[in-house]
Amino acid sequence: MNRWPYGLLAVFVGVLLASQGRVNGQLGAELRDGVLAAIISTGFGFVVLVTAVVCTPAGRRGAGRLAASLRERRLRWWECLGGCVGAYMIFTQGVTITALGVAVFTVATVSGQLVSSLFVDRAGIGPAGPQPITAWRLLGAGMAVGAVVLAVQGQFARPENVWLFLLPAVAGFGLAWQSAVNGQVRDASGNAVVAAMVNFGASMVLLVVATVVDLLLRGWPVAFPDEWWLYTGGAFGIFVIGISAVAVRAVGVLLRSLCVVAGQLLGAIVLDVFVPARGAELRLTEVLGTVITLFAVAVAAVPTRRKSALRR
C-alpha cells in the first residue's frame, strides 16, 4: 500500500486541528467558560453527523455493521469511547489556549501524543496492528518533539502559566489511543462518518454532564459572541475524526501522529501569516521547526517501508 497519500491526509488533519484550536480557544475566551464552549462545538458536529448517518443509505448500513460487530464482540464497547478524549481536548482548548497561547498548547499536546503513540503502536491497539519500537521510530519521535520545542521556544516567557501545561499534555497523551480506537470503529462500520458520529456521541455524553454541573455552579453566560465563525469548531472536528480514522489504518498511530504534528505547525504558520492573532508574529524558529518535523516523519517511516519491501 502506498502510505504517503494517507500521510498527507494526516498532515491536513494537523492543519485542521490548529484552526480548531484557534476557534475553540477564542470562543471559550469570549464566553469565559471552556465547558460551554466545548459542548457548543461538539454539539454542532454531532447533529450534522447523526443527520448524515440517518439520511444516507451508506450511513445506515455502516451503523448496522457497527451494531453487529458490537453484538458479536468483534468490536469491544470501550473502543467506542475515543470521543471522551476529544471532549477533554476541546475543553482544554477553551480553558488554556488564551493563557498559554496556541504554540505552547501545541507543545503540550504533541509531547503527550508522540510518547503515547509509541506504546499504542507497540500494543497493536490500532487497526494497522502491532508495530515495534525501533531506533528509527524513537529518533523520529524525538526529532519531532525537539522541533516543536524549537518552534515555540519564545512562548515560554510566562512561568505563571506553567501548571496549565499539564492539562493539554494529558489530552495529547490520550490522542494516540483515541486515533487507534476510532480506526477500529471505522473498520467495524466500514464508514468514516459513522466512526466520527460514535466519537462525537461519546464526547456529548461526557460534556452534557459537565455542562449541567458547570451551569449550576457558574450560571448562564451574560452574552454570546456575534461572530459566526466562533461556532464552527465542530465542523473542523468532523473532518479531523473522519480523516484520522482512515489514515491511521494505513500509516499506524505514530506516523499518523508525526504527520499531524507537521500539519499543526504548518497550520500555525498559515494562521500567523494570513489570520494573525493579536500580538502574534511569525518567527524563523517556527519555520525551522516545521522543516525538521517533516524530516522526522520521513525518518520514522523508514523501518516500516523496509519491512514492507522484505515481505514482497
**Residue 262, in any domain of the structure:** yes
Please check the confidence at residue 304 and state whether its pLDDT lies above 60: no
33-47, 53-67, 132-146, 195-209: segment of lowest average pLDDT: 132-146
User: By the 8 A CB rule, do 27 and 37 touch?
Assistant: yes
User: By the 8 A CB rule, do 180 and 248 touch?
Assistant: yes
**Residue 187, in any domain of the structure:** yes
pLDDT at position 308, please?
A: 43
**Residue 42, in any domain of the structure:** yes
Report the sign of the C-alpha dihedral through residues 244, 30, 101, 281, in that order: positive
**Distance from CA of residue 102 to its chain's centroid?**
14
pLDDT at position 310, please?
A: 34
User: By the 8 A CB rule, do 225 and 106 touch?
Assistant: no
**Residue 25, in any domain of the structure:** yes
Angle between helices 34-55 and 233-251 in degrees, nearest 10: 70
User: By the 8 A CB rule, do 11 and 256 touch?
Assistant: no
Report the sign of the C-alpha dihedral through residues 118, 120, 121, 122, in that order: positive
| pLDDT, tens digit (0-9, with 9 covering 90-100), for 262-290 | 888 788 777 777 776 555 566 677 677 76
**Residue 312, in any domain of the structure:** no
pLDDT at position 291, please?
A: 78
User: By the 8 A CB rule, do 90 and 84 touch?
Assistant: no
pLDDT at position 263, please?
A: 85
Average pLDDT over residues 202-231: 89
**Residue 243, in any domain of the structure:** yes
Domain count, the chain: 1
Q: Which domain holds residue 114?
A: 4-307
Average pLDDT over residues 38-65: 93
**Residue 149, in any domain of the structure:** yes
Please check the confidence at residue 64 and state whether its pLDDT lies above 60: yes
Q: State what percent of residues in the chain have pLDDT above 90.
A: 22
pLDDT at position 298, please?
A: 74
pTM comes to 0.74
| pLDDT, tens digit (0-9, with 9 covering 90-100), for 145-195 | 787 777 667 666 666 666 777 888 888 888 888 888 988 999 999 998 999
Q: How far from 155 is each of 68, 80, 102, 281, 283, CA to CA, in Å?
A: 49, 36, 9, 11, 11
Average pLDDT over residues 42-50: 91
The mean pLDDT of the chain is: 81
| Measured distance CA(134)–CA(106) in Å, rounded | 25
**Residue 207, in any domain of the structure:** yes
